[in-house]
Amino acid sequence: MSTTPSVSGLLVVIPARDEEALIGECLAAVHAAVDVVRVSRPDIAVAVVVVADRCLDGTAEVAYAAGAHVVPTEAGCVGTARRLGVDAGMALLPAPPAHQTWIASTDADTRVPIGWLDQQVALATRGVRLVIGRAVPDRVDLDATTWTRWRRRHTSKEVGAHVHGANLGFRLDDYRAAGGWSRLHEHEDRHLVDSLLAAGVPAAAGLDVVTSGRLEGRVPGGFSGYLRTIAARRPPGVLDAG
C-alpha cells in the first residue's frame, strides 16, 4: 500500500501447556503492556488469548481468572495452538481490516516489558510489519557458566539473528499471505519468520523479553533444549564453542 496504515486491532496470543506456575506472571506482564497501549492509543481494540493445549493442571483456570480469553485444545502441537489462538482472537476483535490488525506472540513462561506492545504498535505505524525480539533466559534459573555461554552467543544486533515465538509481532495480512503458523511441534517461529522475510516484509528489532531458563521444556528442542545444549558439560581441556 502507498501509505502506512494505522493499527486499529491488537491481538496477543499465548500458547500454554501445563504452565500453572508461570502463566500468572506472564499475564500480569502482558496486561501491564496492554494498559500502556490503552492509555496511549485508546482507539485500538485489544484482545488477549491463551490457548491451553493438553493442560492437565490449572493453567486454564489461572488464565481465565487473570482476564484472558481461554481456548482449550487437545492439539498437542505448539504451531497448531498458536494458529488456533489467532483464529479465536479474530472473533473477539471488531473486524478491523487485516492490514490494520497487529498480532503479538509470546509464551506462557515469559514476562514481557511494560513497553512491549507500545513499541510494536509504534513501529507498525512507521511501516514496520514484522518485529523480532530476543528472549533472554531468566538469570535466576541458570548457573553462572551457562549464563556466560548464553551471553557470548547472543551479541548480534542483526534483526532476525535470534527468533523466538515468545517475542514476535506481525501484521495479519502478511501472516495470512505467509500461510500462518505451520502445524509444527517446534521451530514454527523460525518457519513463519523465514517466510515473512523471504516475502520482503519490513522488519525491526523489538524489546527483550524474559523467558524461563528451565532446561526441561514442553518439546524436545525449543528454547529449553537450546539452553540444555549449552549447559552440557564439556570434557576437560575442550573449549566452549561460543
Domain that holds residue 66: 9-136+161-210
Asked if the structure places residue 227 within a domain, the reply is no
Asked if the structure places residue 197 within a domain, the reply is yes
Q: What is the pLDDT of residue 237?
A: 35
pLDDT digit string, tens, across residues 50-67: 999 999 999 999 999 999
In the predicted structure, residue 129 carries a pLDDT above the cut 80: yes
Asked if the structure places residue 82 within a domain, the reply is yes
User: What does pTM read for this prediction?
Assistant: 0.88
Q: For residue 70, what is the domain's CATH number?
A: 3.90.550.10
| Mean pLDDT for all residues in the chain | 89
Q: What is the mean pLDDT of residues 208-217?
A: 80
Asked if the structure places residue 147 within a domain, the reply is no
Tell me the percentage of the chain whose pLDDT exceeds 90: 74
Asked if the structure places residue 80 within a domain, the reply is yes
Q: What is the mean pLDDT of residues 35-50?
A: 97
| DSSP conformation letters of 169-235 | EEEHHHHHHTTSS---SS-HHHHHHHHHHHTT--EEE---EEE---SS-SSSSHHHHHHHHHHSPPP
Asked if the structure places residue 74 within a domain, the reply is yes
The total number of structural domains in the chain stands at 1
In DSSP terms, 105 is beta-bridged to: 13, 168
Q: What is the pLDDT of residue 209?
A: 97
Asked if the structure places residue 231 within a domain, the reply is no
Asked if the structure places residue 118 within a domain, the reply is yes
Sheet arrangement for strand 135-137:
110-111, 209-211, 135-137
